[in-house]
Amino acid sequence: MHPQIRILNPFYLGVLLLAAISISQIVLTKKKFGFNTVDFLLLLFCLSFLASTFIAEDIIRSGYLAYRSVFIPIAIYFAIKMMAGESEQVLNKTINSLLLGTLLFIILSLIYSSATGRGMGGFLSRTAVGAAGLGSFVFFWLCFTDFHKNIWGKIAIVLSLALIFTTFSRVYFLSILLSPLLIYLIRRGHIMTFFVLLFPVLLIISILIPLNKDLFRHNYVPSSNVASIKRVFQPDMYKKSFTERALQFSKGLQEFQKHPILGTGLKESKLGLGRQTSKSRISTHNFHIEWLEYSGIIGYFFISSAFLVFFWRQKKIVAEDNQSAIFVALIIVTFLNSATNGIMHGIRPELIFIFMGFLEARRKVIQPA
């Protein structure tokens, strides 16, 4: 087997099993899936990645990375939409199961960190940012539903905050502080404003930053991967991170120019943020540049169009339904983090499509066809 390829691990097998069950329900019981424009665009995005794989330098490795970071997360979306959208009772049980599982992860992560002194990253191979993403789900769900009214909910909120703060993830830290405002703006109908900021505006900024990197590279010294409170409150850390990411953005855009139509296919690199690292990962640390680099203009068009339609479809429902607004907030926060950390590695692909799946399932429950 190709090095580091684990196609049939328990998680992937579980997702494939759920996908198979969903398909069988549609075929055998004639359940309505509710196939829409978003679903069609996501399938086209998968096909674009399949095409990119065949022009990649390492077809086998690129195919596996696409399977892991694109096909499996999108399969999760379809499975959740199909199975959890069966009824409100099934949907609530599914959300609560994820909530309890994530809480268990949080507790074990905190114990692991205290016992080993290794920080929040590393438990079950989760990065610190990935752990913060899981913690944000618990925080948002408990704070903005009725769960926070009982003692167990309050304890769980404290645990999620402990996890997020000890990861020293700047985006998630700020997102927690601004979470009431975020939910307020979403409920007041500003969801398309967030789309414009996350997609066209952020795309332009992401391209312009590396073009002007010489303006802030003076006296540049690559920073180490500091896991301390300095990451949040020391201005110099923001300056170094900004410079490092500009270098990475520039490298990604150079790769995009080699294969602008279909992209390079997914690949890994040991070139870290301005320094050599021993661990390979799929990341240009910006979701726009990653989509452009790996899937080209065609793939980028499909995935950005999918999110345009998806956000538009939620305009009315988020104003009327609090749970839907929470999942939209979680998608926005995940994208904000992915603007400086990338979206094709770690748990971020799964998080995006899990939240999307729950939103579509919620829509099926409260607005049945």
Separation in Å, CA 353 to CA 38, 116, 239? 12, 32, 32
Predicted confidence (pLDDT) per residue in 25-79, tens digit? 766 666 666 789 999 999 999 999 999 999 998 888 898 889 889 999 999 999 9
Mean pLDDT over 337-352 rounds to 89
- Provide the token pair at 321: 């339904």
Residue among 171, 14, 305 nearest 22 (CA): 14
Q: What is the pTM of this model?
A: 0.89
Could you tell me which residues are beta bridge partners of residue 281? 269
Q: Please state, in angstroms and rounded to a whole number, the distance separating the CA atoms of residues 298 and 304.
A: 10
Evaluate if residue 116 carries a pLDDT over 60: yes
Q: How far apart are the first and last CA of the chain?
A: 46
Evaluate if residue 141 carries a pLDDT over 50: yes
Q: Read off the DSSP letter of residue 229.
A: T
Q: Please state, in angstroms and rounded to a whole number, the distance separating the CA atoms of residues 147 and 145.
A: 6
At 346 the pLDDT is 81
Residue among 150, 85, 158, 89 nearest 356 (CA): 85
Looking at per-residue confidence, does 2 or 211 come out higher?
211
pLDDT band at residue 124 under the 50/70/90 scheme: low
- Is residue 336 within 8 Å of 175, Cβ to Cβ? yes
In this structure, how many other beta carbons lie within 10 angstroms of the beta carbon of residue 234? Answer: 13
Q: Please state, in angstroms and rounded to a whole number, the distance separating the CA atoms of residues 4 and 116.
A: 26
Predicted confidence (pLDDT) per residue in 322-332, tens digit? 999 999 999 99
Q: Please state, in angstroms and rounded to a whole number, the distance separating the CA atoms of residues 334 and 111.
A: 25
DSSP 321-336: -HHHHHHHHHHHHHHH
At 344 the pLDDT is 86
- Is residue 52 within 8 Å of 294, Cβ to Cβ? yes
At 269 the pLDDT is 67
